[in-house]
Amino acid sequence: MGNQFNKIGLIGKFGDANVSNTLLRLCDYLKKRQCDVWLETNTAKQVAEHNIATAEFAEIGHKCDLAITVGGDGTLLHTARALVDYNIPLLGINLGHLGFLVDFHPDDMEKLLDQVMAGSYMEESRIMLTATIDNVNEPEPRVSDAFNDVVIHKWEVARMIETETYIDGKLLNIMRSDGLIISTPTGSTAYALSGGGPILEPYMEAMVIVPICPHSMSYRPIVLDGNSKIDVIVRDYPHSHAQVTCDGQINMGLVSGDKIHIKRKPQKVRLIHPTDHDQYHVLREKLHWGEQY
């Protein structure tokens, strides 16, 4: 029986030399199955003495029918942002500690990949956000995607920031706080959860706004329809010094008067899971629900 996927891009955790052995083992496995394999360019720099073809993310997006990440959730978040426009599925091999997204364990890698190659797997689609920043001091807006969350927060200052938030053009609130988390369902188990937000089913067409340490306890998390458009203005408030962070990996500075526009990205992220994937099992395991202390 032929492979379900034949052209595969490999992306490893940035700056982690420990991924090399798993990547080389993965390459050997795929080549034995007659697959064409490309190592992402920066990943290749971490793998010593290899004779594997290399490619930039855009080339992987154009050439490949599957991308495999080796690392943790952070590696998959980075890859998702880089490849979402190319509509290729992502599969994560977990070398990290707390993996909500990457659920193929290296000990079972070959056995599980045999199943995937035979067409036996589960696929799901998840939404991603796009943040556009209209900066009062810059002529062109800055744009970044986020798979987990867009966070507007204070920057190395003990004082709060003041934000004005609109949903579909209608005022939601004016709030003093340490910031705001605008999260996808995927990100609802990340920073938003730590901030007291709800856990959303990952496939939902929704997003959640979670205030970070608001000045008044009356401000609560709010769940919005996935088609909502969120606008946040950083108000002119003494000592305002803020930034926007996407997925905890991309940082952009803000000044008073800047406007942040957040909406769902048209393209979705495609994730490959083992056939026995169970989101509730993941939650029980990662959040230690039901453990006896």
- CA–CA gap between residue 241 and residue 238 (Å, rounded): 9
- CA–CA gap between residue 40 and residue 229 (Å, rounded): 34
C-alpha distance from residue 113 to each of 2, 18, 26, 263 (Å): 13, 21, 10, 35
- CA–CA gap between residue 8 and residue 30 (Å, rounded): 8
How many of the other CB atoms lie within 10 Å of CB of 135? 17
Annotated active-site residue 231? The verdict is no
C-alpha distance from residue 258 to each of 152, 180, 245 (Å): 11, 15, 14
DSSP string over 29-64: HHHHTT-EEEEEHHHHTTSTT---EEE-HHHHHHH-
- CA–CA gap between residue 199 and residue 210 (Å, rounded): 12
User: Residue 236 contacts by C-beta under 8 Å, 6 or more apart in sequence?
Assistant: 256, 257
Active-site residue (options: 73, 145, 178, 231) = 73
Kindly state the tokens that stand for 3: 């492979």
- CA–CA gap between residue 227 and residue 25 (Å, rounded): 42
What amino acid positions are annotated as catalytic residues?
A: 73
